[in-house]
Amino acid sequence: MNIVVLDINPLKPEAFEALQACGQVSLYPKTTPEQVLERAKDAEILLTNKTKLNADMINALPNLKYIGMISTGFDVVDINAAKARGIPVCNVPDYSSESVAQHVFSLIFALYRRVEYHNQSVQVGCWERSEAPFYWHTPQRALNGQTIGIVGFGHIGKKIAKAANGFEMNILAYSPRQKTPTNYENFAYAELDELFAKSDIVALSCPLNDSNRGFVNASLINKMKASAIIINTSRGPLINEQDLALALRTGKIWGAGLDVLSVEPPSIDNPLVGATNCILTPHLAWATDIALNKLLKTVAENIKAWQANKTQNQVN
């Protein structure tokens, strides 16, 4: 079968060797919208990570039989258009929950303890010149007793809660669906307004859809404590970036740690690049060695399952 992978960057071609057992493979580092139809015109199996596949594109590919995500998220694909043509869209669920949850706390510690900043201060001689045997240039904040509000309580949200419980934090969670019981004494479900008002840390862990695009806006941010921070390892468009940048600049909230932005890579005029007390990482929360191995293995297994008429991880 003809397999086309539209965007392998930043991975190397050898990472996709397992696909060779599934068919004839064509790999592209990156594909622009204008290049999709030409590159995918003969594809029976089409794999994408960030390259968008809209209804017009899907309907213009007569040989297309299967769409595979190289990710958990599938918002770049018009899954309804695919379903109308009988084309399954399969993702890779829960391959990086631990990795993303760990990065949530990496961002929290980056804001709370400023380890890298203080390392640099030592390297340039600040400790050597210090009149005291120890020092800190930024407030040093502890986690125990703090309240973390987790928006979205799926696989990743539950991993965040497990770690937070280990740090003896209070946990609030917002879940629009079934509210799964937990064994944590310091845990409660809350509506969004309450969660944002009571939390010291708000961690976004929810998928992006039309109903929650830009929901973290001035109205919700203004309910937060002035000492609170926002962490986003989910999807950039969940946040109104102009509103968040203004809140950081004016001290409405204390900080933000973001692994995702509304447009990636960001333009130089993105209001959060260079914003006050805002730490940015380049969408790497998921990219640990263990998670990468699981991701690529599951991408190939999804194709093999479909080829054996045992489709798995279908989202449409």
Cβ atoms of residues 156 and 140 within 8 Å: no
- List, in sequence order, every residue forming a beta bridge with 202; answer none if it has no partner: 149, 230
Q: How many residues does the chain have?
A: 316
3-state secondary structure of 70: coil
Q: Which two tokens stand for residue 297?
A: 């293995």
Residue type, 14: E
DSSP for residue 118:
H
Specify whether the CB–CB gap between 201 and 145 falls below 8 A.
no
**H-state helical runs in 199-236:** 218-221
The 3-state secondary structure of 137-155 reads CCCCCCCCCCEEEEECCCH
Alpha helices (H) along 232-280: 241-249
Spatial CA neighbour of 117 closest among 104, 130, 105, 126: 126
The set of catalytic residues is 235, 264, 283
**DSSP state for residue 236 in the 8-state scheme:** G
